[in-house]
Structure 1
Amino acid sequence: MKISEYLLSCQLKMVRLRKKKLLPGQMSDVGAFLFVCFMIPFTFLWEIFFITPELYKEGGEMWYLHVVLGTIMLVNIAGNFLGLWLVDTSTRHIVVPSKKIGENWHYCASCEAVAPPRSWHCNVCNTCILKREHHCMFAGYCVGHYNHRYFLLFLAWLWVGVLYCIYFNTTYLWNMEGVFSFYAVLKFIFPLIMIMTGVDMSTAQVAIFFWSVHVAAFLLVSVLLVYHIHLIYHGKTTFESNRRIANYDLGWKQNFIEVLGKSWKLALIWPFGKSKLPHNGVDWDTEATWKLEAPKNR
């Protein structure tokens, strides 16, 4: 093995965490980032300490059951969001010889460096991203090779979590008298304005606000989750799909392992578990090479 190839393999053995420019670089990202950071813990506190005690006897078996389930969801949502936000998936730590250009590698004028296949420059992050998927406004950072797993599972657990919250808030509001009236229509249309202006700062109005946010989040996350599962199923990223690049479809099972890692069962339930990815983000199997290599790997 050449020295340059050895150094490259050593650099990619450990996943690095970003230590600089942790906050989003543009204002639209800042708003989305702060909203997620605010809503995740406050939703948990609201549902566990205000809603569930109204539906179940506090200290009872059902209450403790929902506290445990809610905590599991919180850990997975927050843990995967941290991975999405903090894991460095850029090419800034990769040093490669210039002769690589032409072997599906390309020169990035912005970074003034050679970038590997599936890596593209992000003007917001101001760097090339390994297997660039897209720039995520909620994390203020790009989704790429090393944090793709966290992005997908963040969406999946968030989908479960908001559906769970919708059930509780709907049940809570349904049991309240006078909530569903003509005047209440305005409360559902402008929930936050009602609270901020002081027109209605009751617990019921706060519940309406959370219900509205969760319904909107459920619709958005459902669309995003279906879209990205479809992309992964076909071995593509958003960037590649937009440019009709379809060279990396290794079969749907392997395509998901490429994202979730070899210990995908652990990754599904524990965001801090290690799940080694089959590829290093630099050297990729194509559909043609996988037909030759797959039998050996199996």
Structure 2
Amino acid sequence: MPIRSRIYPKSIGDVCVTTFMFLIIPVIYYFELWIVLPTFHTPWCSTYIFHFTMGNFILFNLSGNLINIILTDTSIKGRILPAEINKNWRFCTVCEAFAPPRSWHCPTCNECILKRDHHCLFTSCCIGHYNHRYFLVFVFYIFIATLYSSMFNIQFILDRFETVTWLSIVKLVFPLAILFLEWSLAQFYVALIIIVTLGCLFTGTLLWYHGLLIAKGLVTHERKEKLSVYDRGYIENIKVVLGTRWYLVWISPFIRSELPCDGVEWITNVSVKGK
């Protein structure tokens, strides 16, 4: 795996969103497993251990994939390019180099990215050919974590608002605003639960959006294309992103799964290309 040499954020947006991500993950982890879970199950009983183990398994995959996204270099720098450049290549005036098909320049990272999908504010780097797998699994586990937590959080918060009043509704709808006006531990819990709920909705939508693109053999830059010359069927399209051992990458971010393409040369769908 090629390692990025410059992993620091390169814009104010990157700094703010990435910092929030690295702060909120451990806070939510502590809140869910050490505050919410013990209110439903006696600590260290069999049911508690099951949920506690699942929570740590999710955190392991979530954190491991996040780190791999940031550390993986997916730019064209240092790549061995073919001697003959075909007509699908583009010359990047900023990098002063030829960029392979499906590669685009990122103004934030200031470099061309192999099979660039998008620039991710949550990780302060681009999602491209070599870290696309980690991004997809990371989003998947964020969704699972927030969905899993929400099943406990709904009852947890209802127990604290046994009587529904206008004030309790306002506190649920505007938790952060109320938190600044009226600090309390209960209101802080409400704010965390709202963040978890919004995270579930956001990552669920994101997972659906990127899942559809991957199924069609597309990246975000190619989303307007009705037919992709790189569409080779669902399984092959999945392998391009997750690798040949795509069915195992969900277990651990450290499982090797070779990608069928190198990000420079692409196998195309001849039937679509000819149209």
Asked if 1 retains the 8 angstrom alpha-carbon contact of 2:229 and 2:272, the reply is: no
- The residue correspondences of 1:233-248 to structure 2 (distance < 5 A) are 233-242=215-224, 246-248=228-230
Taking the aligned partners of 2:154 and 2:235, their CA distance within structure 1 comes to 37
Match of 2:209 in 1: 227
2:50 aligned partner: 65
Within 5 Å, give how 1:1-298 maps onto structure 2.
15-20=1-6, 22-96=7-81, 100-178=84-162, 180-197=164-181, 199-202=182-185, 204-242=186-224, 246-288=228-270
For residue 269 of structure 1, report the CA deviation from its aligned partner.
1.3
Counterparts of 2:93 and 2:86 in 1: how far apart (Å)? 15
Equivalences, count = 273
Q: Which amino acid aligns with 1:50?
A: I
Cα distance change, pair 213–74 in 1 and its aligned pair in 2 (3 A): same
Shift of 1:192: 2.2
CA distance in 1 between partners of 2:195 and 2:91 (Å):
44
Q: CA deviation at 1:196?
A: 3.5
**Cα pair distance change 1:36/1:193, threshold 3 Å:** same
**Which structure 1 segments of 5+ residues have no match?**
1-14, 292-298
Root mean square deviation of aligned Cα:
1.9
| AA at the equivalent of 1:55 | F
Inter-CA distance 87–205: structure 2 relative to 1 (3 Å threshold): same
Compute the TM-score of the two structures, normalised by the length of structure 1: 0.86
Instruction: Give identity over the alignment, percent.
Output: 36
Could you tell me how far apart the structure 2 residues matched to 1:179 and 1:122 are?
Answer: 52
Whichever residue aligns with residue 279 of structure 1, its letter is: C
CA distance in 1, matches of 2:227, 2:85: 19
Where 1:274 maps in the other structure, the secondary structure is: coil
Distance change >3 Å, CA 107–CA 205, structure 1 → 2: same
Distance 1:237 1:79 in 2: 23
Looking at structure 1, the residues matched to 165 and 51 of structure 2 have their Cα atoms a distance apart, in angstroms, of 30
Q: Which amino acid aligns with 2:194?
A: S
TM-superposed CA distance for 1:34, in Å, is 1.0
Task: Determine the C-alpha separation between the residues in 2 that align with 1:235 and 1:155.
Answer: 19
**Separation in structure 2 between the aligned mates of residue 215 and residue 90 of structure 1, nearest angstrom:** 34
Residue 23 of structure 1 deviates from its aligned partner by 2.0
Q: Report the structure, 1 or 2, having the larger helix content.
A: 1
Give how far 1:179 is off.
Answer: 6.1
Unaligned runs of 5+ in 2: none
* TM-score between the two structures when normalised by the length of structure 2: 0.93
Shift of the 245–117 alpha-carbon distance from structure 1 to 2, 3 Å rule, reads: farther
Q: Distance in 1 between matches of 2:80 and 2:97?
A: 9
Query: What is the one-letter code of the residue matched to 1:286?
Result: T
Q: Note if contact 1:132-1:145 (Cα within 8 Å) is conserved in structure 2.
A: yes
**Residue-by-residue CA offset, 1:89-123 (whole Å, 9 max, x unaligned):** 000111436x6333421211110011111111111
Find the aligned partners of 1:220 and 1:30 in 2 and give their Cα distance.
20
Quote the Cα distance in structure 2 between the aligned partners of 1:205 and 1:179.
Answer: 15
Separation of aligned partners in 2, 1:177 and 1:286: 58
User: What is the one-letter code of the residue matched to 1:126?
Assistant: N
